[in-house]
Amino acid sequence: MQIKTDFLVIGSGVAGLMFALKVAQFGKVALITKQGIMDSNTTHAQGGIASVFGSLDSFDLHIRDTLASGDGLCNSEVVELVVKNGPDRIRELIDLGVNFNINEKDLSDSESPQLDLGREGGHSQKRIVHAQDMTGLEVETALVNHVKKNKRITLFENHIAIDLITFSTRMKRGLITTTHEDYCHGAYVLDRKKNEVKTFCAKITLLATGGTGKVYLYTSNPDVATGDGIAMAYRAGATVADLEFVQFHPTCLYHPDAKNFLISEAVRGEGGILIDTAGKPFMEKYDPQKDLACRDVVARAIDTELKKSGDDSVFLDISHKDSEFVKKRFPNLYEKCLSFGIDMTDEPIPVVPAAHYMCGGVSTDMYGKTDIHRLYAIGETACTGLHGANRLASNSLIEALVYAHKASIQAVEDFHTLDSNSIPDLPPWDETGTTHGDELIMVSHNWDEIRRCMWNYVGIVRSDKRLARAERRIQNIQHEIREYYWDFKVSADLIELRNIATVAELIIKCAMHRKESRGLHYNIEYTSRDDKRWQKDTVLRRPFVG
């Protein structure tokens, strides 16, 4: 089955939804998402969106904080672009019906109520625009409502992309070969309900598939975060960069019945203190900012404390704050913790680090363009240069909003230069000679082995020896997957396994290449930062396949 559209958007988080709404004014949009439209990292984002609105704040301060967090690898031009465009994107969300918290002290001034601003680690001022502690859900819900009402956007839920289709694509049992001057013309997509591969033909394709958290055993991410966009772009010949910089959130809830539940950065921003099992604060040993240090510092501090003590978790304590304040500021967190028998107003919360955010991704320019023509990437899938070696808290959603805006402008310009014959005849998906998989244990076993291997050897603290072990194991798994992949019909589980294996291999390659410690990449054999040799991006590109 072939589906033709002007714009193909792969992913339904804030980046993909906002881009779709903007370009739908100029053409037809096909929006595909591999589960339901609400199943994205955005929906799970608690803390908020960093943007300058406070009277004591400034663009220069936000830029300075972002550069400091990025540890020497941020693109200063991109940082300035995102920070200075941030307030307009927040106002745009308000116009679309997003209800952010308002400072109650300003309610008497009905003409200009002020946004209630929180503060998080690494920020020198209060600048976190939020909707209670469910900001992502509020933003996602508002955007989904607009998308569903837009007659120019066709939604394809439960559709998972397999591979991009480029101009030089030649099919032989699904094998894609590319040149380095490719034009993207869409993607092969599996309809999970019908178990049918569809050919989506598009003039412009956008990757907004989110992050890579499921590559690791412990993650704050939902099950959909399997690095699909990064893996597909790399296989198609696009450049990827800085994949060694995986952000581990310091505070995920530690409980046997809790899955992927994040304790927001904002808890520390509102006065939460990290303590050990004896009730003793420990962050003062690691950073002058103590509990408001950047995430990489806090995650390594917790990892060190756990290794020294042998304990299963540390604790985040905000019970010293007024209980009514805590309940009102963190209603979702309070209720969720209570469901596990933890009253955060009266006792500390057990927490551990978990894989949270990928700072690297598909390399793009200032407009979200990749080095494959007519292919864009935005959101966590992309490496824009904003985050550098470590993302500043709550800079992710503002980056997604700003780049959705910038990418839509450029994509529409590109679209208007194309004629109706700009998409060549595309070959259908070829599964000749394949059969239905009869060894599904291969998928589940390798899925588990990859995630454990990455957690144990390519986690918060790394070494050359650990990375070499990981590389050998992932190479063996990749060989098994390739043998299996070309013999059997594709399934969603197999597609995701193939993608996390690809992303795992790329993370390992990038980590092995960087012989220093910087930001989120910490190698015990190179414990210092080396600006003379390594103040540069780690860039990977798939070798040409003829």
Phi, psi of 213 (to 5 degrees): -55, -30
CATH assignment of 440-531, among 1.20.58.100, 1.20.140.10, 3.30.565.10, 3.60.70.12 = 1.20.58.100
295 has catalytic annotation: yes
CB 535 within 8 A of CB 238: no
Q: Averaged over 107-112, what is the pLDDT?
A: 53
Distance CA 354, CA 356 (A): 6
Instruction: List the single range of 1-10, 165-174, 400-409 with lowest mean pLDDT.
Output: 165-174
Hey, do 253-356 and 440-531 end up sharing a CATH topology, with the first three levels equal? no
Reported as a single tens digit per residue, the pLDDT across 161-189 is: 999 998 764 444 444 554 446 789 999 99
Q: What is residue 169's predicted lDDT score, i.e. its pLDDT?
A: 46
Please say whether the beta carbons of 383 and 541 come within 8 A. Answer: no
Alpha carbon 382 to chain centroid, angstroms: 9
Residue 487 has pLDDT above 90, yes or no: no
Distance CA 52, CA 351 (A): 30
Sketch the domain layout of the chain as residue ranges.
Answer: 253-356, 440-531
Identify the pLDDT of residue 266: 86
Q: What is the pLDDT of residues 490-516, one digit of tens each?
A: 999 999 999 999 999 999 999 999 999
Residue 407: is its pLDDT beyond 50?
yes
Q: Write out the DSSP string of 70-84.
A: TTT---HHHHHHHHH
Segment 198-253, tens digit of pLDDT: 999 999 999 999 999 999 988 989 899 999 999 999 999 999 999 999 999 899 99
User: Which residue type is seen at 220?
Assistant: S
Question: Which of the following is catalytic: 89, 268, 295, 391?
Answer: 295
Q: What percent of the chain has pLDDT over 90?
A: 76
119-157: per-residue pLDDT in tens? Answer: 888 899 999 999 988 899 999 999 999 999 999 999 999
Which pLDDT value is given to residue 168?
60
From 111-115, 257-261, 339-343, 417-421, the region with the lowest mean pLDDT: 111-115
CATH 3.30.9.10 fits 253-356, yes or no: no
